[in-house]
Amino acid sequence: MEASCVRPHPRFEPTAAQSLGVSSLVRSSGGSSATLVSYRIGAIMKSIQAALILIASFILNAKPLFGCVCPVITLRQGIASADAIFSGAAKRLSDSEWLVEVERTWKGERIVKEVTVRDPAPMTSCSRRLDDGGRYIIFARVKTDRGQPVYYLDACNWLLKYPEAEKFIRKMGKGRIVHPLGREEKRN
């Protein structure tokens, strides 16, 4: 038995445009396949260009995408690495700054009744925030701004919110009470 070769009608022969997926456009528009091929290549190039721009924007802004990487530290390591440790209620001054009414201190020199606490890295993945009215035990870094101490939340250190913070007071000791005039009273 001999196989017969059926040749399609010339109107339906595959063209370069059909192999690129634009055959329906060739038939419906009545245009040449070369015009549509260049149109299709132009569209592909624009898609590639858009993808490259998207990839470049991810690469350039990659730091916030990966998150803040901090080692896990013990309470003892947190105490050792902090410049100041105190508890108090936070009052929001801005998106990255709070006024904390200090109740007790565990570490630090001359901590007064009200201190300014700032976010260490606003608008990044290492940002730390306090809830307005929230009570915390804050492990802070201290920097001087115009001769006054400013306390920064440490992105990689402990920040304990009450009531959970009470569990850690037993391990840390009672600390010192801060009076309205800034004097500290030692309590064991």
For 93-102, how does the pLDDT look when each residue is reduced to its tens digit (9 = 90+)? 999 999 999 9
pTM for this prediction: 0.62
C-alpha–C-alpha distance, residues 40 and 35, integer Å: 9
Is 6 contained in some domain? no
CA dihedral 50, 52, 57, 62 (to 10 degrees): 140
Is 95 contained in some domain? yes
177, β-bridge pairs: 104, 185
* Mean pLDDT, range 109-128, rounded to an integer: 92
C-alpha–C-alpha distance, residues 31 and 52, integer Å: 31
CA dihedral 104, 168, 98, 147 (to 10 degrees): 50
Within 13 A of 2's CA, how many CA atoms are on the CB side?
A: 3
Q: What are phi and psi of 177, to 5 degrees?
A: -80, 140
Per-residue model confidence as pLDDT tens digits over 2-39: 555 555 555 555 555 455 554 554 455 555 666 666 77
In which residue are the tokens 């801005």 written? 94
> Is residue 141 located within the same domain as residue 179?
yes
Q: Which of 15, 185, 18, 19 has its CA nearest to residue 103?
A: 185
Task: Give the residue numbers spanning the domain of 30.
Answer: 13-60
Is 1 contained in some domain? no
